[in-house]
Amino acid sequence: MQKNFIFDLYGTLIDIWTDETRPILWKKTAELFSSVGAKYSGPILRREYFRICAEEDALLRAKTGREWPEIELRTVFERLLAEAPGKPIGLSGKALDDWIDAAANAFRILSRKRFRVYPGTFETLSLLKKSGARLFMLSNAQAVFTRTELALSGLGGLFEEIFLSSDCGMRKPAPEFMQMLLESCGLDPAETVMIGNDVMTDIRIADLCGVDSVLLNTDHLSPDEIERRKSAAGIERPERINIIASGRISELPELCGIHSKL
């Protein structure tokens, strides 16, 4: 029985659907920028947002040499404000930080079309903790709005440590990302399991770090598609992967030898 459980967040514990293609998202976000003098139209803001994201990614990749860098979205919003047409008001210090946080969270809310905790998540995590397991999170996520969503969902307080890619400058499947968690928290890979819904990121990083994994099939992939993705990911230890085909997290404790009678 594993002692340490590392969870992915989105698609594993939280069922979320965001859409950054909707014109209304960019129109409303442009209005938010315009309220502080940064005169954008929706289409121009969209173009500049993706341009700056690409530039920041290239800069971080060159600086760190990482194959899977993760930029911080706050930097993108700060540059959008600084490089905007018009004359943005002079925000600085805490006022600037607060505005960026508010703008980024508004952008996220406008992009969200679905947001809910998967059924059985709280009960399952509580059962694991009752059994003596230690719970951690390793997520490809932007801290500026993920911290808010963790509080909104009520999940944040269930984890001993939370590692988000934007805080660490790298994302799954970079093995260094998981190694950072393992070493910082003093976890033995042989006593640890990674639970996630994505073969290319969650399962692959576990494979690269010699950690067992559980694929929570919340995307309802066929067995053939799962095998195809495992092959594409270059999984070297397929025998260390367990699959919950139904996608129901409530099946996790029994799979790991933990029973509800606890």
CA distance 214 to 195: 5
CA distance 30 to 69: 27
- The reply to whether CATH 3.30.200.20 applies to domain 4-16+116-255 is no
Rounded to two decimals, the pTM is 0.95
- Mean pLDDT, residues 213-218 taken together: 98
Beta strand pairing call for 212-216 and 241-244: parallel
What is the structure's pLDDT at 262?
Answer: 46
Residue pointed to by tokens 């911080």: 72
Tokens representing 245? 């085909």
What is the structure's pLDDT at 232?
Answer: 97
Are 188 and 194 spatial neighbours (Cβ–Cβ below 8 Å)? no
Residue type (1 letter), 53: C
Q: How many residues does the chain have?
A: 262
Are 202 and 172 spatial neighbours (Cβ–Cβ below 8 Å)? yes
What is the structure's pLDDT at 261?
Answer: 52
| SS3 label, residue 107 | helix
CA distance 86 to 239: 58
What is the structure's pLDDT at 249?
Answer: 98
pLDDT tens per residue, range 122-155: 999 999 999 999 999 999 999 999 999 999 999 9
Are 60 and 69 spatial neighbours (Cβ–Cβ below 8 Å)? yes
Tokens representing 156? 């944040």
Are 10 and 103 spatial neighbours (Cβ–Cβ below 8 Å)? no
What is the structure's pLDDT at 258?
Answer: 85
pLDDT tens per residue, range 7-36: 999 999 999 999 999 999 999 999 999 999
Res 200 pLDDT > 60: yes
Residues near 92 by beta carbon (within 8 Å), at least 6 away in sequence: none
